[in-house]
Structure 1
Amino acid sequence: MQTSIYQQARITRDPRFDGVFFIAVKTTHIFCRPICPANLPHEKNVEYFQHAQQAMSQGYRPCLRCRPDSAPQSYAWKGVETTVHRAMKLLREHHDLTINDITLKLGISDRYLRQLFEKHLGLTPKQYQIFNRILFSKKLLHETAMDIETVAHASGFASSRRLQHNFKKITGLSPLQVRKKKINQNQYLSLKLHFRPPFNWHYIQAFLQKRAISGVEIVETNCYSRTFSIEGCKGWFAATYQPGKNYLLLEINLTKIEHLSLLLSNIERVFDLNADILQIQKQLIKSGIPKNRITDGIRLPGVWDTFEAGLRGILGQQISVKGAISLLSLLTQTLGEKVADKYYFPTPQAIIDSNLEFLKIPMSRKQTIRDFCEYYSCHPNHSPDEWIKIKGIGPWTIAYAKMRGLSEPNIWLQTDLIIKKQLDKYKIDSALSSPWRSYLTFQLWNMA
């Protein structure tokens, strides 16, 4: 059944399947995205792979025309083996981590990780890591004016020599052969992040604009920009929606290029670019939402991290969105670092060191904020579920932070007042929308 779907998507070049699978052509030893504009090969000459790295492990080279390195990610099989998914995510985001680092983070042995990868992907963790680094370096070579040494470090290679050796071995080309056209060197790094349609930019834009923190975020008609801190490195990015095109154009200011892959992954999460939204919407309709009430292409608009999401949740308790954002903006402009005309969201320590007298909120709420920041500082790798220990933080705040700060897809805010009203109005069985109840939440909010 799946093969027949892939066949139809390949023939029609359906953009909704971009990144869901890849097509390898036996006669040319090249693999492509379903949207590749090249002449269609005969079905007998192709085979299908769910991941680009799997095609590379079989000796196929990435197409220079449709560029599989730029395809959106796909996690359709995520529920099959969450440990594999977590390992893949760590290997993609942290190019500086070794396989041993990954196993330590996951709390498993090297041997068990190899068994999982070979079972679910048909390749070793080391192969996946190298292939992923090659794909990332290929994207940078195509889209940026970085010199080869910088590309190497951004991709996780110790030197340009190691990059060139592995690149030639796997793709059959040198990095300079891939970089055929000269790209003008801009002041800031520019990259594209692709997504599968439908993508409701106008919904995300309106949602984020209403909740934008003054000085940190700027939301315009087709552009969202903000400052950020990642692994202790500060910078900013602007993501511009391209009407009629299935990608966001990024402009990035980043001081440590080694953090680029982690930055891009978090931007993808904030805009929920990797969601297979059509499959999600089908599930929501099964749960009881009338088909004519579904708003096409709604994603999960994320918050930069769980710390920011937690403070948004705490300050937003029992007041309007507008009131909460006013408090967040005041907090940021009082305690956040200012560089030129931009502010950076305050650190936990900056809040701990303040008496918060400028915030016109109850003392109990101020104490909750301080306790939250203390806990965050002392437990940097904790789960938001642990916040229940903090007086003043309840299940709703934790669930909200997980939904927007971690972009967990199956959060159900059943105690939310708007959700309760919508459930009274429509006959909806939320269990039938699992594992996409976060999307059900946003659809019901939008239907109010």
Structure 2
Amino acid sequence: MHTDTERCVRAVQSKDARFDGVFFTAVRTTRIYCRPSCPVVPPKPENMEFHPTAASCQRAGFRACKRCRPDTSPGSPQWDARADSVARAMRLIQDGVVDREGVPGLAARLGYSTRQIERQLLAELGAGPLALARAQRAQTARVLIETTPLPMAEIAFAAGFASIRAFNDTVREVFALTPGDLRARAARSRPAAPPATPGTITLRLPFRAPLNPSNLIGHLAATAVPGVEEWRDGAYRRTLSLPYGHGIVALAPRPDHILCRLSLTDPRDLTRAINRCRRLLDLDADPVAVDERLRADPLFAPLVDAGPGRRVPRTVDAAEFAVRAVLGQQVSTAAARTHAARLVTAHGTPVDDPEGGLTHLFPDPAALAGLDPETLALPRSRRTTLLTLVTALADGSLALGPGTDTEEARARLAALPGFGPWTTEIIAMRALGDPDAFLPGDLGVRRAAAGLGLPATPAALTARAARWRPWRAYAVQYLWATDDHPINHLPA
């Protein structure tokens, strides 16, 4: 997109918010970069240049606009939808791999040399992995500065900086303000009371409009595992297992943002927690592109027009969702919740939640790999499926996560006993984030398809759904929404 100068200029001149995060506008005369929807008077076209990432702008010597705050725009939908090495690298960087393991760790996860991954990122994104991670650290620092009373020294290390000097220099370079000035500016514009409990951070998660929360939040609330998830006071709440500790998040839909309230045992996990919440709610999707493609099918258009902006409810932990998918095979939503709750009570790590009813972290594969199969109230074949899955996840022979190659993961899942097309595809859709995952054999999908006059048999429906590609996972959400099931409604 950023190489199409004429299209970018039109987007800037029309202040089109759909392109926020897709590209960034850098102004040569002021040395400032903005999001396309910046409310200021657009610069002259000859003074504009366009970059694919905020890190690319910063690397070229531009600083963030104080008016439109381009560093807080939604993430690029490319990294959400693409499955190539650059997109996988971006997802891993967003998950903090470079901060924790360095560039060699990033390259090892992708199966490339350090030099190869640096060359690929620089060629496509205008910045290498260190610059991309630095831009993310700067944004994390800004969130902590503006939303917490933490001392600046603690913020520096929590954001991932190696020294206070690097923290000060980066903040001044990126935002043209000192850390103290940022905090004072935020206090003047948005005075806020101190958090109710230590480690609590409240922020807004932006998204591209439209967003239909009914199937998104409704699905998460209706399938919530007791002790790990709950719906309380108009928000979906759940526990998070994070690299440096654990957290509890409350996510409440608002007209123009998702209100996010995080309680973390270690502020170094802030970036990872935010990105996992964004991924959970599919906030970096491009609903306009999705809906335009689906609306082109005349039989599908009425569904899109009735509730545009549906997202795919995803997960904060791919391994957790894979376990829950197995527990949900051929049983009702209530039964799947019951089975998962038993695992949580027996093997999950207890946590304190003074503001609600959350009690445990979902058990990781290592904790489940040694469980006694006789304790599982499941058919023998499903016990075998579950134990094989958690063993493969625990020993690393099966990898599910932000940097996973979706086709390789599909093949490995399909090779496990008890994994048919439905289980493999639901994991690809919700755990791996494949926007084109499809469930032609799902009962709800087949019933909805028949009601619309679409083919009801899996083979015929798959052939008919070719025109919905690459957004068939979103088509599934629209088909599911035709049923009056609790997953399609916000709880009372």
TM-score, normalised by the number of residues in structure 2: 0.82
Query: In the alignment, does 2:477 pair up with 1:442?
Result: yes
Cα distance in 1, alignment partners of residues 290 and 42 from structure 2 = 30
Deviations 1:123-163 (A, max 9, x none): 33333333333233234333333322232223321121221
> Which of 234, 237, 244 is the aligned partner of 2:246?
234
Deviations 1:347-375 (A, max 9, x none): 33444444355654323322332232222
Q: Give 1:275 deviation, angstroms.
A: 0.3
Query: In the alignment, does 2:233 pair up with 1:198?
Result: no
Matches within 5 A, 1:29-68: 29-68=31-70
Q: Please name the residue that 1:166 is paired with.
A: 170
Q: Please name the residue that 1:285 is paired with.
A: 295
Q: Give 1:446 deviation, angstroms.
A: 1.6
Q: Please name the residue that 1:305 is paired with.
A: 317
Matches within 5 A, 1:40-189: 40-76=42-78, 82-94=84-96, 95-180=99-184, 181-182=186-187, 184-186=193-195, 187=197, 188-189=200-201
Q: Give 1:278 deviation, angstroms.
A: 0.7
In structure 1, runs of 5+ residues without a counterpart are: none
Q: Please name the residue that 1:331 is paired with.
A: 343
Matches within 5 A, 1:246-261: 247-261=257-271
Change in Cα spacing, 1:381 to 1:191, as seen in structure 2 (3 Å) is: farther
Q: Please name the residue that 2:221 is paired with.
A: 209
Cα distance in 2, alignment partners of residues 121 and 307 from structure 1 = 30
Q: Please name the residue that 1:343 is paired with.
A: 360
Q: Please name the residue that 1:316 is paired with.
A: 328
Cα distance in 1, alignment partners of residues 24 and 136 from structure 2 = 15
**Larger relative contact order (C-alpha < 8 A, sep ≥ 6)?**
2
Cα distance in 2, alignment partners of residues 387 and 426 from structure 1 = 29
The residue identity in structure 2 corresponding to 1:426 is: L
TM-score, normalised by the number of residues in structure 1: 0.90
- Judge which range, 46-55 or 205-214, deviates more: 46-55
Change in Cα spacing, 1:79 to 1:204, as seen in structure 2 (3 Å) is: closer
Change in Cα spacing, 1:265 to 1:115, as seen in structure 2 (3 Å) is: same
Cα distance in 2, alignment partners of residues 359 and 97 from structure 1 = 37
Cα distance in 1, alignment partners of residues 122 and 376 from structure 2 = 54
> What is the CA RMSD across the aligned residues, in angstroms?
2.7
Change in Cα spacing, 1:327 to 1:126, as seen in structure 2 (3 Å) is: closer
Q: Give 1:301 deviation, angstroms.
A: 0.4
Cα distance in 2, alignment partners of residues 259 and 49 from structure 1 = 28
Q: Give 1:269 deviation, angstroms.
A: 0.6
Cα distance in 1, alignment partners of residues 142 and 375 from structure 2 = 50
Q: Please name the residue that 2:486 is paired with.
A: none
Change in Cα spacing, 1:306 to 1:169, as seen in structure 2 (3 Å) is: closer
Cα distance in 2, alignment partners of residues 390 and 69 from structure 1 = 42
Q: Please name the residue that 2:490 is paired with.
A: none
Q: Give 1:60 deviation, angstroms.
A: 1.4
* Secondary structure class of the residue paired with 2:312: coil
Give the 4+ runs in structure 1 shifted more than 4 A: 1-5, 77-81, 356-359
Q: Please name the residue that 1:411 is paired with.
A: 437
* Secondary structure class of the residue paired with 2:101: coil
* Secondary structure class of the residue paired with 1:76: helix
- Judge which range, 194-203 or 115-124, deviates more: 115-124
Deviations 1:397-431 (A, max 9, x none): 12212211222212111222333344442267322
* Contact 1:18–1:35 (8 Å) recurs in 2: yes
* Secondary structure class of the residue paired with 1:191: strand
Deviations 1:272-297 (A, max 9, x none): 00001110111223355432221311
Cα distance in 2, alignment partners of residues 192 and 86 from structure 1 = 25
Cα distance in 2, alignment partners of residues 80 and 390 from structure 1 = 26
> Which of 387, 396, 399 is the aligned partner of 1:379?
396
In structure 2, runs of 5+ residues without a counterpart are: 401-408, 456-460, 484-492
Cα distance in 2, alignment partners of residues 322 and 258 from structure 1 = 36
The residue identity in structure 1 corresponding to 2:95 is: E
The residue identity in structure 2 corresponding to 1:185 is: P
* Secondary structure class of the residue paired with 1:239: strand
> Which of 391, 395, 403 is the aligned partner of 2:421?
395
* Secondary structure class of the residue paired with 2:66: coil
* Secondary structure class of the residue paired with 2:481: helix
* Contact 2:240–2:316 (8 Å) recurs in 1: yes
Cα distance in 2, alignment partners of residues 282 and 212 from structure 1 = 31
Cα distance in 2, alignment partners of residues 150 and 291 from structure 1 = 52
- Judge which range, 275-284 or 100-109, deviates more: 100-109
Cα distance in 2, alignment partners of residues 322 and 440 from structure 1 = 25
* Contact 2:350–2:360 (8 Å) recurs in 1: yes
The residue identity in structure 2 corresponding to 1:239 is: L
* Secondary structure class of the residue paired with 1:97: helix
Q: Give 1:197 deviation, angstroms.
A: 0.6
Cα distance in 2, alignment partners of residues 111 and 339 from structure 1 = 42
The residue identity in structure 1 corresponding to 2:30 is: T
* Contact 1:305–1:406 (8 Å) recurs in 2: no
* Contact 2:78–2:87 (8 Å) recurs in 1: no
* Contact 1:332–1:344 (8 Å) recurs in 2: yes
